[in-house]
Amino acid sequence: MKKIGLIVNPIAGMGGSVGLKGSDGLEILEKARALGAKPKSSYRTTQALEKVSPFKDKVEIITYPGEMGENAARACGFEPTVIGSIDKDNTTPQDTKNAAKDMKKLGVDLILFAGGDGTARDIYDSVGISIPVLGIPTGVKIHSAVYGQNPKRAGELISLFVQGKVVEFKEQEVMDIDEDAFRAGRVTARLYGYLKVPFEKRFVQSRKSGGIKTEEASLEGIAHYVIDSMSDDYIYVIGPGTTTRSIMEKLGLKNSLLGMDVVYQKKLLANDVSEEELLNLIKGKKAKIIITIIGGQGHIFGRGNQQLSPTVLNQVRKENIIVVSTREKLNTIFGSPMLIDTGDSETDNMLEGYYKVVVGYDDFIMYKAMS
Amino acid sequence: MSPVKIKENFQQARWNEPIIYEKSRPNVRGILPPKADKEIVELVGDVVSKLPDGIRRKELPNLPEVSQKHVLAHYIRLSQETLGANLSNDLSEGTCTMKYNPRVNEDLVAETDFAELHPHQDEDTVQGILEIYHKFQKVVKEVSGLDRFTLQPGGGSQAIYTAACIVRAYWEDKGEADKRDEIITTIFSHPADAATPATAGFKIITIYPDERGLPDIEALKEAVSERTAAIFMTNPEDLGMYNPIADEFVKIVRSVGGLCFYDQANANAFLGVARAKEAGFDMCHFNVHKTFGSPHGCSGPASGALGVTEELVKYLPVPLVEYDGEKYYLNYDSEKSIGKVRDFIGVSGVILRAYAWSMAMGAKGLRECADVSVINNNYLEKKVLGIRGISSAYQGNDITRQEQIRYSFEKLYEETGVGSNDMNARIVDYGIPSFWSSHHPWLIPEPMTLEPCETYSKDDLDEYAAVLQRLSDEAYSNPEILKTAPHNSSSHRRNDEESLDDPTKWATTWAAYLKKHR
């Protein structure tokens, strides 16, 4: 018997339905309601749960009251264990956070949430990567890599999970999009964190990847290649992400998953540096930057590594940038270029062109980057 | 015209036959060899005790103990559980070049004059097979335009590996091996074009396609440098598109001094039409067992032919089969040869069949083979692309497809949840072998690769398209029937896909299975 925690963000997606590009913030929500937006998150949750209902005897659902999960679970014939309390029709991000924490305490095997990137962030804040999480995409902003392809696919994946057929998990990106900027037509995102998402080849967003073991082997090869190629004359700036983390781990160095770390002669100079600290460290020295792409999106600059400002990048130059990625991750953007968005068009132009992306030991793919 | 027939009531044997080890019972014997006569025992003594300790077994080998009757039943049942070559509509196996393999050629290789040859025989006593080698080399020389061939490799990948070894020898000879350590390939080239140079010690740079699906020539320009040892590229690639500017690729690699290898495993598309020589390549290979009509894919062994220009002949593996005007002989006299990639002179049974096939076809026949393959493929394409939910890679890019096509069930999957694996599990219920999806990674989502070679009839193509139409109809009306397939076949559905990627779980032998799972 698996325990699944179910959290529905009932207002997710409402802003989008009336063209508001997001539903975060009370004012926007009221505007959305005034424009006639109707909550759809709960309905989309039932589309997922219907796929799980044939395995009712194998699953116990623990959820929050009413619109935060209880209604959807009962609509699909489940008898959920209902915990916590909410202010009906006025739920807040704090309710999501509380629910995730409560469910973790009760020892759920996985949290299934319905929402968008805002909801994913709230859950990340509460449980980090301590337990598996899967998203049903019902929000306006779906930039994170933690969702099933659609509600039905998310439900099918959960049905495999409750049958014990999914045993692998991957740390996937949670993105933080600035809604005010997004509404103004600009996407300014950063890497917010990672959630531990169940992995089954057929259900990953792109369905283009090899197995998880293949990917682990690629990571190992990338890390060994980069370390073997390191020159003692250069300072290495290691960008955020799980791919670059494998290099730091192989070097036995402390690392910041979301920040920039600096290495010289295979020793740590600094963790999680700001733009200013970085400029001081590389001033008058030769430096190389090692970065990876954001899976599914393809950004190499301008998302998740704003410390690499135009000033830094113009000092380092394109020829000293090493892009690393597993084939699996690179293939999630197959057919599209890697993306550059530093905020400065001259710097973007300087960085455009082909990169010899390191995908394994002595193994490279020529891949184009565009702004 | 007779209506298209689908095997509606197909039902394959479903023995659920256990592994032969699971049928083993202690002390059951298939054969009881008679004890040696007393006289012999007295003369020879205990032979086993005379063996050195190091090679004497401490315990008996773990062999299955089964009677003759049950061994026979076991293998007959297994044979009934296949949908093998020359039995079914196996155009499913894209990239494999499945075609009719003339039975008369099996008589040839079964002739005792050939079958009883031994590779250690003196060359004076094997003039016949050496002559056939020499003459078949002439055939592939003509087909490619290149100067010399070795038939030693035991398959396409080994021929490509041989090419990689020749590239290494070439740069060692020039004293630049340390510097020339990169080989460039393209993502839709055969994986051996990356894997075998990597095995030979090269770094690999892979070029991705441009918007039309052809290798991105701009990426190649960025990739080449003074480190470029060679390019290894397939044409046409497995998507089925012929790269019309392969010669431009050659020029770019030449401009930095690199060598050029042409993977011609898909030669069925252009026999008698286009040659490696005119495109400017230094080397090319053929999968002899595929293109030249020999049984393969579990019904026969492979053989690779590697051809080179005059400049590279000195690096070819030894021995070379040559003719001095009076007799055929094996020439080992080659100081710069890479040595051997395999014992002896190759897989002679395949060469004999291939030679017989080529002579029966004749030059015009080879050209016709290419023409009919391409026509068949384009006829089938027209039908398949009319089926709901199916598209092809880079569809509508105005490039005529050659001898095969990579299709995609992406739309079908999005609309019904039925993807490539489900279609593959269901197609066998209509008596058609599971199709070749794609090499990994699946850059074309939910793929299917079909290759209707020259020996398939219009009825075969119509049947195949009709079955795909049926499967699409089922996906939109009753997807569960595909998701729970197969229903009428011997085969089962894999229930644990991930284990195929996990070396701690997969087991290709009984011993490995016992070790990992019992």
Residues A12 and A161 in one domain: yes
For a pLDDT cut of 70, what percent of chain A falls above it? 90
Q: How many domains does chain A have?
A: 2
What DSSP letter does each residue of B270-323 carry, written as one string?
TTTT--HHHHT-SEEEEEHHHHTT---SSSS---EEEEE-GGGGGGS-SPEEEE
Domain boundary among A140, A175, A203: A203
Ranges A49-63, A113-127, A167-181: which has the least confidence: A167-181
A207–B419 C-beta distance less than 8 A: yes
SS3 B232: strand
B222–A362 C-beta distance less than 8 A: no
B446–A367 C-beta distance less than 8 A: no
Mean pLDDT for chain A overall = 87
| Close Cβ partners of B360 (under 8 Å, ≥ 6 residues apart) | B102
Nearest residue, CB atoms, B501 vs list A213, A356, A363: A213
Q: Give pLDDT tens digits for B496-507.
A: 666 777 788 888
B222–A354 C-beta distance less than 8 A: yes
Structure tokens at B352: 């004999």
Tell me which residue has tokens 């300014």.
A188
For a pLDDT cut of 90, what percent of chain B falls above it? 87
In chain A, what residues touch B191 (CB-CB under 8 Å)?
A: none
Q: Cα dist. A26→A11, A30, A31, B120 in Å?
A: 11, 6, 9, 88
Nearest residue in chain A measured CA to CA from B443: A208
A208–B442 C-beta distance less than 8 A: yes
Q: Greater confidence, A240 or B224?
A: B224
Ranges A135-149, B173-187, B212-226, B253-267: which has the least confidence: A135-149
Q: Above 70 in pLDDT, residue B250?
A: yes
Is residue B223 very low, low, confident or very high in pLDDT (cuts 50, 70, 90)? very high
Helix or strand holding residue A177 (H, E): strand A168-177
Residue A31's pLDDT is 78
Determine the residue type at B238: D
Instruction: Provide the terminal-to-terminal Cα distance of chain A, rounded to the nearest Å.
Output: 49
Residues A224 and A188 in one domain: no
Q: Once rounded to an integer, what is the mean pLDDT over residues A277-296?
A: 91
Residue A207's pLDDT is 37
| Close Cβ partners of A292 (under 8 Å, ≥ 6 residues apart) | A239, A241, A243, A244, A300, A323, A324, A325, A329
User: Exposed/middle/buried for B32, CB within 10 Å: 0-12, 13-18, 19+?
Assistant: exposed
β-partners of residue A196 are: A132, A171
Is residue B85 very low, low, confident or very high in pLDDT (cuts 50, 70, 90)? confident
Residue B127's pLDDT is 97
Q: Give pLDDT tens digits for A12-30.
A: 877 765 666 666 677 777 7
CA–CA separation, B98 vs B88, rounded Å? 11
Residues A106 and A251 in one domain: no
Nearest residue in chain B measured CA to CA from A208: B442
Strands A189-199 and A110-115: unpaired
CA–CA separation, B434 vs B455, rounded Å? 19
Domain boundary among A168, A183, A203: A203
CA dihedral B271, B272, B278, B280 (to 10 degrees): 20
Residue B183's pLDDT is 98
**A337/B contact by beta carbon, under 8 A:** no
Residue A304's pLDDT is 66
Nearest residue in chain B measured CA to CA from A168: B498
**A367/B contact by beta carbon, under 8 A:** yes
CA–CA separation, B39 vs B36, rounded Å? 8
CA dihedral A4, A158, A210, B214 (to 10 degrees): -130
Residue A205's pLDDT is 45
A170–chain B nearest CA distance, Å: 14
Is residue A208 very low, low, confident or very high in pLDDT (cuts 50, 70, 90)? very low
**B216/A contact by beta carbon, under 8 A:** yes
Q: Once rounded to an integer, what is the mean pLDDT over residues B91-118?
A: 95
**B34/A contact by beta carbon, under 8 A:** no
Residues A179 and A31 in one domain: yes
User: If we measure between CA atoms, which residue out of B304, B342, B338 comes closest to residue B170?
Assistant: B338
Q: Which domain holds residue A151?
A: 2-203
CA dihedral A44, A48, A50, A54 (to 10 degrees): -170
CA–CA separation, B412 vs B424, rounded Å? 13
A263–chain B nearest CA distance, Å: 26
Do the Cβ atoms of A262 and A230 come closer than 8 Å? no
Residue B187's pLDDT is 97
Do the Cβ atoms of B152 and B119 come closer than 8 Å? no
Q: Above 50 in pLDDT, residue A209?
A: no
Residue B505's pLDDT is 85
Residue B320's pLDDT is 96
Instruction: Provide the terminal-to-terminal Cα distance of chain B, rounded to the nearest Å.
Output: 58
Nearest residue in chain A measured CA to CA from B438: A208
Residues A223 and A317 in one domain: yes
B204–A211 C-beta distance less than 8 A: no
Ranges A228-237, A293-302, B408-417: which has the least confidence: A293-302
Nearest residue, CB atoms, A362 vs list B198, B220, B419: B198
B500–A367 C-beta distance less than 8 A: no
CATH T-level fold of B371-501: Aspartate Aminotransferase, domain 1 (3.90.1150)
Mean pLDDT for chain B overall = 94
Residues A198 and A259 in one domain: no
CA–CA separation, A251 vs A245, rounded Å? 10
CA–CA separation, A132 vs A113, rounded Å? 11
User: If we measure between CA atoms, which residue out of B261, B216, B254 comes closest to residue B234?
Assistant: B261
Size of interface A-B (CB pairs under 8 A): 82
A353–B222 C-beta distance less than 8 A: yes
CA–CA separation, A138 vs B285, rounded Å? 53
Ranges A281-295, B166-180, B275-289: which has the least confidence: A281-295
β-partners of residue B134 are: none
* ipTM score of complex: 0.91
Is residue B81 very low, low, confident or very high in pLDDT (cuts 50, 70, 90)? very high
Strands B320-323 and B328-331: antiparallel
Q: Give pLDDT tens digits for B422-446.
A: 999 999 999 999 999 998 888 999 9
Is residue B395 very low, low, confident or very high in pLDDT (cuts 50, 70, 90)? very high
Domain boundary among A203, A237, A261: A203
Q: Cα dist. A100→A131, A133, A355 in Å?
A: 10, 10, 41
CA–CA separation, B390 vs B408, rounded Å? 6
Residue B448's pLDDT is 97
**A207 secondary structure, DSSP code:** S
CATH number of the domain enclosing A93: 3.40.50.10330
Residue A206's pLDDT is 42
B204–A364 C-beta distance less than 8 A: yes
Do the Cβ atoms of A218 and A328 come closer than 8 Å? yes
Q: Once rounded to an integer, what is the mean pLDDT over residues A92-121?
A: 94
Q: Once rounded to an integer, what is the mean pLDDT over residues B5-23?
A: 93
| Close Cβ partners of A186 (under 8 Å, ≥ 6 residues apart) | none
Q: Above 80 in pLDDT, residue B6?
A: yes
In chain A, what residues touch B440 (CB-CB under 8 Å)?
A: 210
What DSSP letter does each residue of A248-269 carry, written as one string?
HHHHT----SSS-EEEETTEEE
Q: Once rounded to an integer, what is the mean pLDDT over residues A168-183?
A: 76
**A224/B contact by beta carbon, under 8 A:** no
pTM comes to 0.85
CA–CA separation, A242 vs A256, rounded Å? 10
Residues A35 and A92 in one domain: yes
**B333/A contact by beta carbon, under 8 A:** no
Residues A70 and A184 in one domain: yes
β-partners of residue B39 are: none
Neighbours of B55 (CB within 10 A): 6
Q: Once rounded to an integer, what is the mean pLDDT over residues B230-244?
A: 96
Q: Where are the domains of chain B?
A: 371-501
Q: Above 60 in pLDDT, residue A187?
A: no
